[in-house]
Amino acid sequence: MGRIGLLHTHHGAVETPLFLPVVSPTRQIVKPREMKERLKCKAVMTNAYLLLKRWFPKSVSQDLHQRVDFDAVIMTDSGAYQLLEYGRVHTDAEEIARFQEDIGSDIAVVLDVPTGDVDREQAAETVNKTLANSRKALEVVSHSRTLWVGPVQGGSHIDLVEYSARESSKMGFDIHALGSPTVLMERYLFPPLVDMICAAKMNLPVERPLHLFGAGHPMMFSLAVALGCDMFDSAAYSLYAKNDRYMTASGTIKLTDIRDFPCFCRVCSHILPKELKDLKPELRERMLAMHNLHVCFEEINRIKQAIFEGRLWELVELRARSHPSLFRGFARAVRNANCTEMFEKNTPVSKRRGIFLFDNISLNRPEVRAYMRRLRKNYSPPRGKSLLLLLPSIWRDAEAQKIKSSSRIGVLIGKKSTHVCYYGPPFGLVPAELVGVFPLSQSLSALGTTAYIDKVVEVVLDYLGVHKNYSTVIFLWPDDKAWRALAEACASAVRKRFHGVSVSVRKASSQRFPDDMRGK
């Protein structure tokens, strides 16, 4: 679901996926202007409720961009975080909406009621209050300059998330945002977070960007983007720095545990870990915050490049192995029926580069799943073919020419009744005439033959169950024990399932064809 988009605001267009550092109206360890100049930051987020109560209690004559000292895109939150933390805010949906528009917010969030970790009855109440606030806010704003964000609530109650998303999508919002993920992320509960994102994305207009509130750590950015999130905000870069925590793209390290910096940003390339530890707390916090910001922006750029190359899945697989809980979230995504439906529907049918397949979880890639589905539903073998000759998939490329040049195999292949297919990892079964179709020849696989036996058997049985024109099936295996085990497992399964089909298993190579295959 990852995509590169262009979001047009009053202060210019910004590219998504977009990371917005949260800047405090009261304490800025790294100035927004400095973020723009040193890190090419295009957008930041700040808290409109704190601005209303502390800086602009009587007048809104001052411009937000002047106050924050940032002449690019500013997104403002409505105070929902204070509502989650303290249980109440001293404003209402209409007042905070007018205020955000008056001070010139480029992107503004209506006053939502965060769900948090509550029972279903309380969760339903937060959803209904958020929807009511959304309607009230949209009635009092002009929509002339500000892009309005419609929050989706419901927490871990997936049916409520779906309902909230459907109702919110009927309103005139420009962007939607998934609320209440912070509690899950803080506790590393990534599987339910995956379900929440998927439920929201399935029920929102695809042309509207999806913002993920509080997506704090770069190690989960790629998974969120693959699930369809376009924007993120977080203050984690600063909060981590305050506690001497050093971000990397695959986790967080305590400063006291660092011997050598695994980074070469402006901070890490100009100071040693020991020197950073000895700095005064405020300066050390500032330098760590700068490094943490660098890691976040670098990961966003890495994700964009992966999308451009068609390699986002590989990046997600890599990042998922950063932490067991994150891997469980990734595994949930590839097994969630709604997620896999979205993945397959939105993944391009061809890409700039081939795909890499590492293990069984790679077989859930949308490209692989789409091939399996299309083989079953869209493919028809050539007419008049009654003999299915199954060659090992390792013979598809250079070996294929040697096979055809072998007189005995060539004779068999040359028969009008013979249909040649290749069996084995990673695609199970590939008709010879489809070998050049993406991604069949545009892939590199590390899948072992033995570990993949059950899947190959499943695909072969499914193929023969759909196409009943074959009276004879011949499995050839090279001089390799693993391939022999695979061929015999497939043949045994075919014999049990299809009693009227003659099945043979023979050892063969591109250079020699068994004598007892003559005349078959």
Residues 6+ apart with CB under 8 A from 240: 246, 247, 252, 288, 292
**From edge to edge, which strands make up the β-sheet containing 472-477?**
428-431, 418-424, 387-392, 472-477, 502-507
> What mean pLDDT is predicted for residues 357-373?
88
Is the pLDDT confidence value at 4 over 60? Answer: yes
Rounded mean pLDDT of the chain? 88
350: in domain: no
351: in domain: no
Is the pLDDT confidence value at 87 over 70? Answer: no
Q: 34-79 pLDDT, tens per residue?
A: 999 999 999 999 999 888 887 665 554 568 998 888 999 999 998 7
**End-of-domain residue from the set 316, 342, 368:** 342
**End-of-domain residue from the set 314, 342, 370:** 342
- Does 177 share its domain with 278? yes
Residue 257 among the catalytic residues:
no
Q: How confident is the model at residue 407 (pLDDT cuts 50, 70, 90)?
A: low
Distances (CA, A) of 14 to 85, 87, 106, 199, 228: 31, 34, 11, 26, 17
Catalytic residue among 63, 69, 71, 77: 77
- pTM over the 0.85 mark: yes
28 HSE (CA, 13 A, CB side): 19
- Does 321 share its domain with 408? no
Residue 293 structural domain: 5-342
> What mean pLDDT is predicted for residues 5-28?
93
353: in domain: no
**End-of-domain residue from the set 315, 342, 369:** 342
Q: Which residue matches tokens 């591109």?
A: 510
Please tell me the distance from the alpha carbon of residue 54 to that of residue 26, in angstroms, as a whole number. 9
Sign of CA dihedral 35, 184, 209, 85: negative
349: in domain: no
